[in-house]
Amino acid sequence: MGGGLVDGKAALVTGGASGIGRATALALAREGARVLVADRDAAGAEAVAKAIAESRGTARAVRCDVARADEVEAMVRAALDAFGRLDCAVNAAGILGAPGPLHELAPEQWEQTLAVNLTGMFLCLRYELRAMRAQRAGAIVNVSSGAGVLGTPFLGPYAASKHGILGLTKTAALENARDGVRVNAICPGSTDTPMLQGFMASSAEARKMILATAPSGRLGTPEEIAEAALWLCSDRASYVSGESMLVDFAAVSR
């Protein structure tokens, strides 16, 4: 083997047990990276790592709740212990949160979504950047959403957190531009993941809203989104940092 887009690189993927995170972990491994698969779902992370190993790749799994600083620090340390360095990180962990109009949401529902999606992103960046700055090289891809650039009815906390990710991404890119670390975000459109399917099943209105964002007549696949993250992790994107890339067939209609 050899010659893959990220051949020989050491990578970390949060939210790696399912959806976009899982597809990204598999894509990175396919293209030659050694991958640490991290997720709150330890069994799911182990299953993805096993699938990579069965395809003759190299992977480890670790349980991590990105809302907990100690677990995020341990996750990054596990990557460094396993691979000796950290070249790429894709921060895909996130939750949709409780749907509903803002005036009906409980403060605890707001706080839970922000804790995972935004504070969790900050914590991942904090420890990943420390590792990459020390080696003066690295690439980070934060998974935002189409809801990071548009208002999203009934998903206010989710939309706010995904908008916030773009601010973190641009700030981190500027702060680390002279230290060899690139930081970008991808903004997937409506993608066929368990999380989105759960939201669509919650009500006829939710399903109608999501399908209205897909003028192509279909949802995106996690594998299609993973290709964008893969490219941004690779050296082919060596002059790209601070970008918020829409990965969305519907972008032309917005």
Domain ranges of the chain: 10-249
pLDDT values of the chain reduced to their tens digit, one per residue, 254 residues: 468 999 999 999 999 999 999 999 999 999 999 999 999 999 999 999 999 999 999 999 999 999 999 999 999 999 999 999 999 999 999 999 988 999 999 999 999 999 999 999 999 999 999 999 999 999 999 999 998 999 888 999 999 999 999 999 999 999 999 999 999 999 998 766 777 676 666 666 766 666 676 666 667 789 999 999 999 999 999 999 999 999 887 654 45
204's CB contacts (< 8 A; 6+ apart) are: none
What is the number of other CB atoms lying within 10 angstroms of the CB of residue 8?
Answer: 10
pLDDT at residue 209, rounded to an integer: 67
| Helices 42-54 & 19-30 angle (0-180, nearest 10) | 30
| Tokens (6 digits) for 222 | 């996690």
What is the number of other CB atoms lying within 10 angstroms of the CB of residue 63?
Answer: 17
Residue 128: which of 163, 178, 78 has the closest Cα?
Answer: 78
Is-contact 116 67, C-beta < 8 A? yes
Compute the Cα dihedral for 141, 146, 151, 152 and give only its sign: negative
127 has catalytic annotation: no
CATH superfamily of 10-249: NAD(P)-binding Rossmann-like Domain (3.40.50.720)
Q: Considering the candidates 83, 127, 154, 158, report the single residue annotated as catalytic.
A: 158
pLDDT at residue 5, rounded to an integer: 97
Percent of the chain residues topping a pLDDT of 70: 88
DSSP string, 59-112: EEEEE--TT-HHHHHHHHHHHHHHHSS--EEEE--------B-GGG--HHHHHH
